[in-house]
A and B are shown apart, each in its own frame.
Chain A
């Protein structure tokens, strides 16, 4: 699933490690998330959106196919 995590994270000058620590996951998970190789749980998606001060629907690009 495509997302804007990297874009929004770099915009506020946050590192992957810092984001990982704030949402309670490993840095590797953030790497996979940013690359669109991992679909997060609803809880994690919500927490990431909250840290990046946005909404889930604005953060993730849902492919309806």
Chain B
């Protein structure tokens, strides 16, 4: 117990970075296992525990983990990452859309990618605008709250769009259309 308390108090920047990598790896494994077992509760709990643990450990590091130069580089890297991802994703969307006749699943992949790109760009624009007007927003709490509500609604709406409203459902041993899925019924057996 004493060792544990000493360990947490004496944590330095290097140790914190190694622990962060280890936590990310463990979290990845736990999420994979929970997806395989179709139990997302385990993943959710693991994510919350990891977040609390990392936040606590970070507060114990007395050294400076990042400064203004990191934020500047981070901003540039984020812009490049968004641009590259968007261009590559659009290329894949076009490619998958032209080949949807070969395999109907390609259309679903293309749609998912399209929504992902749109969601990323909208989120980036909203956050950019929010920080751009942060000084202007000071003292106007209602606008900040309104912005947060709009963002939450967009996230919920986006998730609903991606949640597979149009799908094939297994009912009484038969595949039944739910909505208007653009792909044929699954080939595997329906045993429910």
Contacts and interface: CB of A to CB of B under 8 A. Distances in A.
B34 to A, nearest CB: 36
A44 B68 CA distance: 9
Contact of A20 (B64, B65, B68): B64
Interface string B37-67: 0000000000000000000000000001111
Contacts of A29: 67-69
Contacts of B67: 24-26, 29
Interface string A11-28: 000000000110011101
A48 B74 CA distance: 23
A10 interface: no
Contacts of B68: 25, 29, 40-41, 44
Q: Kindly state the interface size class of chain B when it binds its partner.
A: under 10
A38 B68 CA distance: 11
B71 to A, nearest CB: 10
B70 interface: yes
A46 B68 CA distance: 14
Contacts of A24: 64, 67
B74 to A, nearest CB: 13
Nearest to A17: B63
A33 B152 CA distance: 41
A24 B68 CA distance: 10
Contacts of B70: 26
A29 B70 CA distance: 9
B182 to A, nearest CB: 52
A5 B64 CA distance: 20
B68 to A, nearest CB: 5
B139 to A, nearest CB: 23
B64 A38 contact: no
B76 to A, nearest CB: 13
Contacts of B65: 26
8 contacts: A20-B64, A21-B64, A25-B64, A25-B67, A26-B66, A29-B68, A40-B68, A41-B68
5 shortest interchain CB distances as A-B pairs: A25-B67, A29-B69, A26-B67, A26-B64, A41-B68
